[in-house]
Structure 1
Amino acid sequence: MKNIPLYHVEPIRDLKEMLEKSAKTFGEKAAFLKKDIPGGPYVPVSFNQYKEDVDALGTALIKKGCKGERIAIIGENRYEWSVSYLAVVNGTGIAVPLDKELPVNEIVISLNRAEVTTIIFSPKLTEKILACKAQVPTLKHLITMEQPDPQRAEAEEAPYYSIYDLLREGRELLAEGDTAFTDAVIDRDAMQILLFTSGTTDVSKAVMLSHKNICENLMAMSSMVYIDDKDIFLSILPIHHTYECTCGFLCPVYRGSTVAYCEGLRHITKNMAEGKITMMLVVPLVLESMHRRVWDTIRKQGLAKKVKFALRLNSVLRKIGMDRSKKLFAKVHESFGGHMRLFISGAAAVDPQVSKDFRNFGILTIQGYGLTECAPIAALNRNCDFKDDAAGMPMPGTELEIDAPDAAGIGEITIKGPNVMLGYYHDETATKQAIDARGFFHTGDLGYMDKDKFVHITGRKKNVIVTKNGKNIFPEEIEYLLLKSPYIAEVVVYGEAAEDGETIVKANVFPDYEKIKEDAAAGLLETDTPEAVIRAEIKTVNKQLVSYKAVKDFLLRDTEFIKTSTQKIKRYIEDNQAAH
């Protein structure tokens, strides 16, 4: 640990004060870049305009009788989502962000559990939301994020409002002197956000967060990683998730940066260039896909040896303060829009080699560790002090302890601090199981802390495979090695009891069928039979493992695993536990 001073940050009591300060400081600077027409140019929205829209919508919602009520927000990453969120939490009621990918039955369950009275939704989800209406007794208002439809507005009983009608109504109310929203006092310790964890099991928990939880997290993360008003974020991860919501939406608003909404994963490269993007929050799947695309292009051009030499050279030059990455790797920078300076990866561990390559290309790549229950960041690598194989250092004001460590120092990661949730909604038993008498939240993750106070994650407590002799096997360690194979797209490693009572290690594999076919056709493989190729890859990995960790058998899947919205495989659902 280099003991580098933290960056200065503006103190904020709550998200309402955060928006007021940012609007006052950054005024007419662009807070958001949105597209009014798909494929059209980015249109800037200033900090002043954003605050005006938040105040107008909040005022209109209170006039509709929504004060103190639970309001669900569901849709893709877009400007109206961001307006809705702060319009709810900054003086109206409790925000309930929902995953737009949920099927109707799961949306209904979440709406009923949260006792939602109002839904603000994307027009793309109209059919889903209307299907929910009759199944949620508490529901009173439906608000679409689209422009008003004159024909629908003339109907006797329109099924929903337009957010733009409410914005107009709110502005009129503000002009008449309505201060119900703008004068609202925020209780920073009360539940203001109710989040259903995506989880890697089929049972979600409802996490209660406060303004204090979010604001303490914003201040802590901003003191560790340098972000300023010249940065432009590309918003690509699901915004209902705390990772993107806190770090990719609220943090840029807090720091005076700009958020550009991505049109979809297929448009990332185009949007990076159009928006002059400098920063992105990513998950390993996205980052490693970008990394693979860069290297595929390099190999196809026959430049692999030349580039590897240039990477080694630049690594040496950087150590003596002579970074030549932008000149040496100009085409790589162009492929990311020409302005990228920082990738921050979360949700799972990223391959350290990927981080090193991007850094030597001239784009710093660091990772953090968090959970919804921690609002979400608990540990973070700094832009000026990092380790590629670590999840990061504990956040300022956060205590991180390893509970019941074994001989190797590995135990459950526990966290205490102002970012830790209030508890699980209507589930005191689960709350007491998660937060101990000392106030430490038990994450369920296993890991250790090194001498420099960096946290290293070894796996999930519930995933550990225990052998007959009491030895612990971390599936994630084996999965990491298997995923280095270009022929394995996804894998889940698990333990299964054998007839002799021993537990054997097995793997459920989704191969990269296209890569196998392509390389076999090019003469790079002796066979194009997926089973034979995967067997050989597993044999290679087993040579790197002690015998009791070796993969003894495997299954092949025809389809990808079912995943959460942050691309984590749901290990324990039935469809993911067999070959499909």
Structure 2
Amino acid sequence: MTEELYQVREIKDLRDMIRTGAELYKEAPAFLIKRQKGGKYHEVTYKKLEKDMNALGTRLVDLGLVGEKIAIIGENCYEWILSYFAIVNGVGTVVPLDKELSRQEIDNLAAAAGCKGIFYASSYESYVQDLDIPVKMKFELYRNEDVPFDEKDMASLLFEGRKLLSRGDRRYLDAQVDSEAARIMLFTSGTTGVPKAVMLCHRNLCSNIKNISKVVQIRPDDRTLSILPIHHTFESTVDIMTVLYQGGSVAFFEGLKHVTKNMVEARASILVGVPLIFESIYAKLWKQVEKTKRVKALKAAIKLNRSLQRIGVDKRQKLFRDIYDNFGGRLRMIITGAAGIDPKVLRGFHDLGLEVAQGYGLTETAPIIAGTPDGEQKYKKTGSVGKVIPEGEIKIIDTNEEGIGEILYRGPNVMLGYYGMPEETAQVLEDGWFHTGDLGFMDPEGWLYITGRKKNVIVTKTGKNIYPEELEQLVSEIPYVEECMVYGLEGVETGDGTTVAVQVRPDYEAIKEAFPNGADDEQVYDLIKGIISEMNQKLPNYKRIRHVVIRDSEFVKTTTHKIKRQDNL
């Protein structure tokens, strides 16, 4: 990367990050938490975070968990991330688990990792009570003062840890943190294949935090609202650790239904999420504008804003005050990742005066590989995921005639390997280069574009490659489509032996507006099939979608809202 980079402070491990953060930001809020559901936010300072981490870590050492693997499962909250930091910064290896897992899956993954301890939210008590794990520790999302502490309750653990520290117990405080040892074990939520446990070290995470901070600046008065699953590395690294590293603060939401309300309450200025969330927000925003018959006025404001921006005048807060007020009045930046966002939506947010940063990465890279730097020409590059991070390298191999090939990455954030899977590790790691399995290309200015997953490509009998993601983007632009999945259908006789098919989940709200008197299944099918047939006329013959299936149920997805292709066929 050649653009000017922000200065960052050196940190050798996550413990160093917490310690220096407490020195630099002291009584500034690190987290905003609620003690009661629906109550007001309370601040947890950087100093308190360090003290709580030391107390909990000391108690974990006293419980004999040094060198052990300890799982965490539950909703996003302070106790979750506190457990994470306490474990990795002087106790053992943390194993974050997806809260959407079934009881059997939790059992299987905890056993596969060899966990000797588990932190769990009280809502998961029935899930973990029969697990063959010696030490089970509970935390509450909201503390009921009438409920007495039990021995392994988080409040009790902290109390006992503080007592040990007051007596001079320094086992945790003096513990050496090996920045090169596997201390984080993350089970991938990939859309294909068997979940693997990715092994990460402190160096992986710290290098990624610093590299993100070199290109995207978080201000000390910035606040984010944590809404993505906290076990996912995009949420934990980008939305929590990078924000803490730069002195901002993190508020925890109370559920997707409360996002807007919590943003107002927390006065959030940054929102980190996945495309599905932002595309939904954008669509609802315009529907609201249409209902209030203010489309013409908003389009005029957007046009004026573009002109003012070109001459360096910023009147966004005044022009779009009503929109900003809906999000608490302070929203300035959206950070999206985990999947590609519709370029029209990204440009639309820019037009409304919001900065949109896009990142690309994988669990195996802790996670960010590329991102859109501050101050760059994001509007013109809306189809791109940005430039490679400062300490990383990207190369494209096995390119076709369009220059599209597999993306390989090398950098200090590449994982140590898959736990207990040397053969699988060797398949993706070669001479330091990680084979992402993603396909894409780089433009002459070094901006990366993702075209799809290698495993998803539909190969015709004549050797043509069809990228499902490209067609899905086109189909999703149909106003009556909520979401879709394109795939190859074998066994249907066509000229090239493969039929391009699509499963569509209709947007019934939009269909209701088109058919005020109601539409039956056949009418819905004919409507969507007809529009796809018109779309086909603009596509090469081999890319045309010839088989349409209407779904009346949700797609099976990962917790980051990616469609699991194999599970939906």
CA distance in 2, matches of 1:514, 1:299: 14
The one of 273, 280, 288 aligned to 2:271: 280
Contact 1:527-1:533 within 8 A present in 2 as well? no
Deviation at 1:119, TM superposition (A): 0.6
Q: Which runs of 5+ in 1 are unaligned?
A: none
Instruction: Give 1:201 deviation, angstroms.
Output: 2.2
| Equivalent in the alignment of 1:57 | 56
Whole-angstrom CA distance in 1 between matches of 2:109 and 2:236? 19
Mapped to 1, the partners of 2:276 and 2:531 lie a distance apart of: 20
* 1:319 is the counterpart of 2:310: yes
Match of 1:460 in 2: 453
**Residue in 2 aligned with 1:439?**
432
Alpha-carbon shift at residue 543 of structure 1 (Å): 2.8
Amino acid at match of 2:523: T
Contact 1:188-1:210 within 8 A present in 2 as well: yes
Q: State the AA in 1 paired with 2:397.
A: D
Partner of 1:504: 499
Q: 1:518 aligns with which of 513, 517, 531?
A: 513
- Correspondence for 2:92: 93
2:256 pairs with 1:265: yes
Which residue is 1:198 aligned to?
189
Measure how far apart 1:5 and its partner are: 0.5
Provide the secondary structure at the position in 2 that maps to 1:250.
helix
SS at match of 1:393: strand
Structure 1 residue 540 displacement after superposition: 3.0
Residue 73 of structure 1 contacts residue 98 of structure 1 at CA under 8 Å; is this kept in 2?
yes
Q: Name the % identity.
A: 44
Q: Distance in 2 between matches of 1:448 and 1:359?
A: 24
Structure 2 unaligned blocks of 5 or more: none
Counterpart Cα distance in 1 of 2:255 and 2:220: 25
Segment drifting more, 286-295 vs 322-331? 322-331
1:517 aligned partner, one-letter code? K
Q: What whole-Å deviation, never above 9, does each CA across 1:346-379 have from its counterpart, x for those lacking one?
A: 0111111111111121211121101000000000
> Equivalences for 1:122-201 in 2 at 5 Å?
122-131=121-130, 133=131, 136=132, 139-146=133-140, 161-201=152-192
* Residue in structure 2 matched with residue 388 of structure 1 by the alignment: 382
What does residue 5 of structure 1 align with? 4
Measure the CA separation in 2 of the matches of 1:149 and 1:333: 37
Give the corresponding residue for 1:561.
555
Deviating 4+ runs (over 2 angstroms): 146-153, 497-501, 525-529
Which residue pairs with 1:339 in the alignment? 330
Number of residue pairs matched by the alignment: 562
Alignment check: 8 A CA contact 1:282 1:345 kept: yes
Residue 540 of structure 2 is aligned to residue 546 of structure 1: yes
For normalisation by structure 2, the TM-score amounts to: 0.96
Comparing 13-22 with 322-331, greater Cα deviation is found at 322-331
Q: CA RMSD in A?
A: 1.7
Change (3 A) 1:415 1:335: same
Report SS of the residue matched to 1:485: coil
Distance 1:482 1:168, change over 3 A: same
SS class of match (2:55): helix
**How far off is 1:527 after superposition?**
10
CA contact (8 A) 1:148 1:162 kept: no
Q: What secondary structure does 1:4 align onto?
A: coil
Match of 1:255 in 2: 246
Following superposition of structure 1 onto structure 2, how do residues 92-111 of structure 1 map, counting pairs within 5 Å?
A: 92-111=91-110
Alignment correspondent of 1:421: 415
SS at 1:298 equivalent: helix
Distance between the aligned counterparts of 1:174 and 1:520, measured in 2?
69
The alpha-carbon deviation at position 307 of structure 1 amounts to: 1.3
Change (3 A) 1:293 1:286: same
Which of the residues 402, 406, 427 maps onto 1:412?
406
Deviations 1:93-120 (Å, cap 9, x if unpaired)? Answer: 0000000110001001100110001110
- Partner of 1:62, secondary structure, is helix
Q: Secondary structure at the match of 1:344?
A: strand
The structural deviation recorded for 1:313 is 2.0
Q: Counterpart of 1:35?
A: 34
